Amino acid sequence: MPLKVPDNLPAKEILKNESIFIMDESRAFSQDIRPLKIVILNLMPKKEETEVDLLRSLSNSPLQIDVTFAHMGTHESKNTSKEHLSTFYKVIDDISHNKYDGMIITGAPVETLEFDEVSYIDELRRIFEWSKSNVYSTLHICWGAQAALNYHYNIKKYPLEKKLFGVFEHYEVGKRVNLLRGFDDIFYVPHSRHTEIKEADILKNEKLNLVCKSDEAGVNIVTAKRGRQIFIAGHFEYNAQTLANEYFRDLSKGLEIEIPKNYFRDDDPKKNPIVKWRSHCMNLYTNWLNYYVYQETPYDITAIN
């Protein structure tokens, strides 16, 4: 799939070196086709790493995608330069008049806080409300999924006794959905979190559909409004080294952290990780773009409501 991104975005060169098709803005303008307009609200501290992970995940479809990056206007990022943000990012106020085929809202390292304790929660809630009428399908990840489920459906999050950390087996539940088309009966997803949403809370809400779960990691994917809202507790988009980097970072800080489960070869941190989720990640994002965005969004994007 040709991803249309700004000509000088740093992530572009990384992805090109991975043989991922990145289209320059100048070339995209010459094509007589309406690209899918996707906005990514990046709540992660190291935004450039998340950009690469998400653009890589979106790269396996033949559809042309016009990507816009957004960040919170009420929060100052300490791990991404102001120059990078001013060059490649918007705040929602800058684009609030626009309509988008799809939106991705990432996780954030604030899950141990109560929702009302997060400094930018009011702005984020306004974005959740804005997405209902300005975006056709919104995909929420990890804490972004928890916060959105709480806002839209009053679903609570609960603290875990210890951090859920590793790569876990999952399986589809209920009727088969297009989001998991082509998935194996058992598939793997990375998780890294201190809180969870409970299956019982999802099942008793008639507006929500539990799509897949793990016996060890719990609820993973929930959908609503026929796929116009998708909530993912895990991290399909993680690259091979993400959990390793987190593990060794915490070790270097003297923090108590367990070896991520089912991740390093022979569970030995001295050996390389084994990637078990890459193909399903590509499949998930391709399915979302095709069945929940491209096939459903009106060609006249202004008609989204």
Judge contact between 229 and 221, C-beta under 8 A.
Answer: no
Active-site residue, selected from the candidate residues 71, 170, 191, 235: 235
Q: Which residue has the tokens 């009420």?
A: 74
CB proximity list for 76: less than 8 A, separation 6 or greater: none
Active-site residue, selected from the candidate residues 111, 140, 142, 152: 142
CA distance 170 to 102: 25
Q: Is 237 marked active-site? A: yes
At 78 the three-state DSSP class reads: coil
Sign of torsion over alpha carbons 233, 131, 114, 107: positive
Q: Is 235 marked active-site? A: yes
- Vertex 277 angle, CA 275 and 279, to 5°: 110
Q: Which residue has the tokens 């950009």?
A: 51
Judge contact between 288 and 102, C-beta under 8 A.
Answer: yes
Which amino acid is residue 208, in one-letter code?
A: L
Structure token digits, residue 295: 């096939």
Active-site residue, selected from the candidate residues 49, 237, 280, 281: 237
Q: Is 169 marked active-site? A: no
Query: Residue 27 CB: number of other CB atoms within 10 A?
Result: 12
Residues β-bridged to residue 171 = 213
Q: Which residue has the tokens 């086709």?
A: 33
CA distance 118 to 9: 29
Structure token digits, residue 40: 């990514």
- Vertex 107 angle, CA 169 and 63, to 5°: 80
Q: Which residues are catalytic?
A: 142, 235, 237
